Homo-oligomer: A and B are copies of this chain.
Amino acid sequence: MEYCFGVDIGGTTVKIGLFRTDGELIDKWEIKTRTENKGEAILPDVADALKKKMEEKEIKASQLSGIGIGIPAPVDGDGVVQNTANLGWGYKEVRREMEELTGMKVAAGNDANVAALGEMWLGAGKGHKDLIMVTLGTGVGGGVIVNGQPLTGAHGAGGEIGHLCVNYEEEEHCGCGKQGCLEQYASATGIARLARKRLAADDTASVLRDKETIDAKAVFDALKEGDRLSEEIVEEFGRYLGYAMANLAAVTDPSVIVIGGGVSKAGSILLGYIEKYFAEKVFFANKETKFVLAKLGNDAGICGAARLIL
């Protein structure tokens, strides 16, 4: 087999990549995610897009290993989702439906697990078989790779790192309904929340006080300018995330932890604040675990999806 497709289904667009099976990305493009009518057009739209690309590139079905698909929801080992609100789906047998639509072999997985697989195959985790990827975006997503395979779990909900409870004293609620989730401290939204709370606590001077919008980028920009109060905020972020990663490492024993998502655009300055607190709480057997920044950006999803089928 020479080729495979990686499909990353999101709430607004579907990203698609055509890969050689050695990992070379030959072509990538996007189509709109039509979520209306319970998202019934999404998979047929993807199937059409793949068929047209095969005609355009003169690729036959016999040259394709198949299609890997990443989905923003828990996906079980049979490629079934129970409910994917942001795509309009209820119960859906994604693998079976897509195999019927295309006649090709299909594999499906959770988008965060799939992104982790992508970084392992072609990105910051190359050469590793046991890794964790943490995606610091609007929320905190997680993917755990064990011996080269995504940790799917009994309900397809493995690697929900964002909902580890890291503070049993927290009074505000996470979007999931719980209190004290990692996502409340380490996501872009969480960092902005920490900043607002810190600013309200006293009158300490900070360049953040002159900003119209306090978001994660503003905090990291201020940190790089030497703003002391911003450093306090980033220390707090690093403590929650570093401690959580030390606990995660005791369970899954990764050789590398990949940090991705919008917040990771702050760059390598970020890693120091995580590593410092990780080192404080790490179990001795995991002390060699390295932290690295993700490399593939938005392509991690299509890369990992493609890897899923190989």
Q: Please determine whether A77 and B147 come into contact, CB atoms closer than 8 angstroms.
A: yes
Q: A77-B147, A149-B147 are in contact. Are A157 and B247 (CB under 8 A)?
A: no
A154 at interface, CB cutoff 8 A: yes
The segment from A187-195, A206-214, A249-257 that touches chain B is A249-257
Contact A178 B281, beta carbon cutoff 8 Å: yes
Flag if A154 contacts B130 (CB, 8 Å).
Answer: yes
Shortest distance from the beta carbon of A66 to any chain B beta carbon, whole Å: 20
Residue A156 CB within 8 A of the other chain: yes
How far apart are the CA atoms of A129 and B154 in the complex, in Å?
Answer: 7
Contact residues in B for A130 (Cβ distance below 8 Å): 153-154
A152 at the interface (CB under 8 A from B): yes
Chain A positions near chain B (C-beta within 8 angstroms): 74, 77, 128-130, 142, 144, 146-147, 149, 151-161, 163-165, 168, 176-178, 243, 246-248, 250-255, 281, 283-286, 288-289
Cα A177 to Cα B149 with chains together (Å):
32
Asked whether, in the complex, the Cβ of B157 is within 8 Å of the Cβ of A246, the reply is no
Main secondary structure of the interface of A (DSSP, over half): loop
A283–B158 Cα distance when bound, in Å, is: 11
A164 and B253 contact, CB distance less than 8 A: no
Closest to A73 in B: B285
Nearest B residue (CB) for A149: B147
Contact of A158 among B155, B159, B163, B252 (CB under 8 A): B252
Chain B residues near A151 (CB-CB < 8 A): 146, 151, 251-253
Is A160 a contact partner of B285 (Cβ separation < 8 A)? yes
Residues of B within 8 Å of A176, CB to CB, are 283-284
Q: Give Cα A253–Cα B147 distance, bound, in whole angstroms.
A: 17
Decide if A157 touches B248 in the complex (CB within 8 Å).
Answer: no
Q: What separation, in Å, do the CA atoms of A253 and B255 have in the docked complex?
A: 21
B255 close to A285 (CB less than 8 A): no
Least CB distance from A184 to B in Å reads: 13
Asked if residues B149 and A250 are in contact (CB atoms below 8 Å), the reply is no
CB distance from A306 to the nearest CB of B (A): 21
> Could you list some 18 contacts between A and B, CB below 8 A?
A74-B285, A146-B146, A146-B151, A146-B152, A147-B149, A151-B253, A152-B253, A153-B252, A154-B254, A155-B253, A158-B253, A159-B253, A160-B253, A165-B246, A176-B283, A248-B251, A251-B252, A252-B252
